[in-house]
Structure 1
């Protein structure tokens, strides 16, 4: 089974210097690519000088995460794509349990490893942790991370299990499924496109898995910091667009209405916290959503999975019931 590790890069020479050596050292099973989104730093010359074994793919402009990978993967011939952020440190034998699962489970289409925090290695990392889920209103959360609360890794998620979405920070997918589903949605640009792709895979009968025996460490926020208003804009906009594409039709409008009300509450919270730029980002996200609604409605598939969420409202459970740990979500009455 051929596997390609594909690292998307944009002006990330410092990250390549720091993290690419671990990928090269611990990935003997893979062919390694760097897909460059028209960097203006010395990324390309650095790769040519110090990593001649790494294949470079040059995109003509900064296409973001979704289009950047869609364009680059047209030039990659492999059975499995391993899409890896440039700020990921991998560990020895990280590919072995992933490949074994793909070989033994034909319906498993997408896999995520355990993602720990590079800065605090005993904690789970924000972007994926031990596998992702969404609530009834499309808010994402993870085993090991709910909103901004990160759990310490005490072995509580040392398992292999089905999840709803896998993190784009370290995302394994069968190339045949990627092509059949037409890859990431270009209109997302960045943020939550991996959740959309996972949802479409589930709607087509595939499984998403988390495998704890594969471990990586993620810096997080290396390209766009967690508290950046642009990140707020993209997350809120793309989440609404994702719901429009993938919700069962009978639930679409009621869930969208509920979600937009919750977004409004979040916006006023930003004002109270004296973060007007984030309030403005939510207004901009909703305005953009109105403009794009019919375009995304036309993207809806014939079948939509009705069992898309694990809890009704993670906002209520986290902020009102004060439940901060994933395993506690299912112990409440």
Structure 2
């Protein structure tokens, strides 16, 4: 009998194994596993949770509430790459599916994710990736403020410095989506702040119903006025975002930090925001989420081929995964899915994005974006990936550029500190030195793997790099 996925289910044998890596995620597992238990899949599947030496009672929770889950214990934290591999290397079902512990799948997610393998042309698919949206829904705010230039050594035009955002009294600074407004997180990991541009938009996570009170703590170079706006309540019979001018607030900001509050009416539209709809790699070797922080208006509602699959919500042929050796254990965290996707493509397989396999994801729930942990692994693993997978010219250019940029940052930091008669901020430079030292230590192993990838490849590296996009 053929299921809705177009795949043959051999009696009661599981068709897929869903692998979830967990590290101190006892608070994240119940929503994830409860949603997985409610999957409307016309085939049986297994679920395995790799516990990376959690110390928060995760294993006790799994034993008590989820006896149907197979727990794969690790006595140390192997990261996302090694943790997944601990389970993947023992998978025997035709397909392996990866799911983050901070993601909640829609009821038909698994069936729709596997469907392309059984459809026309599915024999050439190595992996399938779905649509990942951020877990909450958001209020979309527009922002406008006068700017200033901080000085000759900082070319940015800055608006205001934001150090706190609350929704009905709850701190949500780390959950706000800032991509279209700020220059990224600055300051220490435990007390980050964001400098805005003069104009842009931000998305604030809000409850689904009722009015909400938003509080913002900010400061600027001098007293000024900031205008915040949002879409109006939709008129009966119309859709949100139909183009009508919405309400706005003009609020004061001064040189000293202060907090302003305003209330948004219950009918203000909530929107879904995209986290990932497949991945891209830029020509300088940086990986990126396709569609990242775009409002989901249906612009990615067509299935299509993509260059890379997201490790959260990725389905793969088990036989191919075993042949490739799954993830690279040395990556630990970040870029491991981009590296694996590149290797899938080197064997001549395609990667398909399907928009109707939907996950809701708590972004950076396990590691704080732009923390030292994040920066170390993204910087190092980008160089490792290029060394393994890219053309020699691309890899050499990126590897040579890294120490040159590090030296430039160090010189600029010392000059700025000398002019300001202050102690130089050495931590960013030290972190980059650690990155490159770790890369050099792993270089012999990466070169060996590069030769192995090249020997087994059916697609040339230069051909695969036609997928790379300009920044």
Please give the range of the TM-score, normalised by the shorter of the 2 chains. Answer: 0.7 to 0.9
CA distance in 2 between counterparts of 1:221 and 1:37 reads 17
Task: Decide whether aligned partners of structure 1 residues 198 and 262 sit closer, same or farther in structure 2, where only a CA change above 3 A counts.
Answer: farther
Equivalent residue in structure 2 for 1:136, among 277, 283, 286? 283
Structure 2 counterpart SS, 1:75: coil
In structure 2, distance between residues paired with 1:266 and 1:23: 46
What's the counterpart of residue 88 of structure 1? 103
CA contact (8 A) 1:137 1:259 kept: no
When residues 311 and 202 of structure 1 are mapped into structure 2, their CA distance, relative to the original with a 3 A threshold, is closer
Aligned residue among 6, 9, 32 for 2:47: 32
**Cα gap change, 1:169/1:279 in structure 2, threshold over 3 Å: closer, same or farther?**
farther
Partner Cα separation in structure 2 for residue 270 and residue 75 of structure 1: 49
Q: Name stretches of at least 5 consecutive residues in structure 1 with no aligned partner.
A: 315-333
User: Residue 8 of structure 1 is aligned with which of 21, 26, 35?
Assistant: 21
Match status 1:308 vs 2:465:
yes
Q: Is the 8 A contact 2:20 2:98 kept in 1?
A: yes
Give the root-mean-square deviation of aligned CA atoms: 2.5
Larger radius of gyration: 2
Residue equivalent to 1:291 = 441
Q: In structure 1, which of residues 201, 208, 216 is the aligned counterpart of residue 344 of structure 2? A: 201
Q: Which moved more, 1:33-42 or 1:204-213?
A: 33-42
What is the distance in 2 between the residues matched to 1:75 and 1:243? 28
Rounded to whole Å, the distance in 2 between the matches of 1:242 and 1:11 is 28
Cα contact 1:137–1:258 (8 A) shared by 2:
no
User: What residue is the counterpart of 1:117 in the other structure?
Assistant: 134
Report the alpha carbon displacement of residue 287 of structure 1 after superposing the two structures with TM: 2.1
- Structure number having the greater strand percentage: 2
The aligned counterpart of 2:302 is 159
- How much has 1:257 moved relative to structure 2? 2.9
The match for 1:184 among 320, 327, 333 is 327
8 Å CA contact 1:70, 1:184 repeated in 2: yes
In the alignment, the residues of structure 1 paired with residue 59 and residue 380 of structure 2 have an alpha-carbon distance, to the nearest angstrom, of 33
Quick check: 2:280–2:287 contact (8 Å CA) kept in 1? yes
Q: Within 5 Å, which residues of 2 pair with 1:67-78?
A: 67-78=82-93
The answer as to whether partners of 1:237 and 1:288 remain within 8 angstroms in 2 is yes
1:44 aligns with 2:59: yes
In the alignment, is the contact (CA less than 8 A) between 2:50 and 2:71 conserved in 1?
Answer: yes
Partners of 1:97 and 1:214 within 8 A in 2? yes
Task: Give 2:35's aligned residue.
Answer: 22
SS at match of 1:78: coil
Contact 1:236 1:285 in 2 (8 A): yes
Q: Would you say 1:210 and 2:210 are equivalent positions?
A: no
SS at 1:257 equivalent? helix
| Bigger shift: residues 98-107 or 283-292 | 283-292
Q: How many residues align?
A: 306
Residue 324 of structure 1: aligned partner: none
Counterpart CA distance in 2 for 1:79 and 1:131 is 22
SS at match of 2:17: strand
Instruction: Please tell me whether the aligned partners of residues 83 and 172 of structure 1 are also in contact (alpha carbons under 8 angstroms).
Output: yes
Give the Å deviation of 1:312. Answer: 5.2
Question: Cα distance, 1:182 vs. partner?
Answer: 0.6
Q: More displaced, 284-293 or 219-228?
A: 284-293
Equivalent position to 1:282, from 432, 446, 458: 432
Return 97-106 or 196-205, whichever deviates more. 97-106
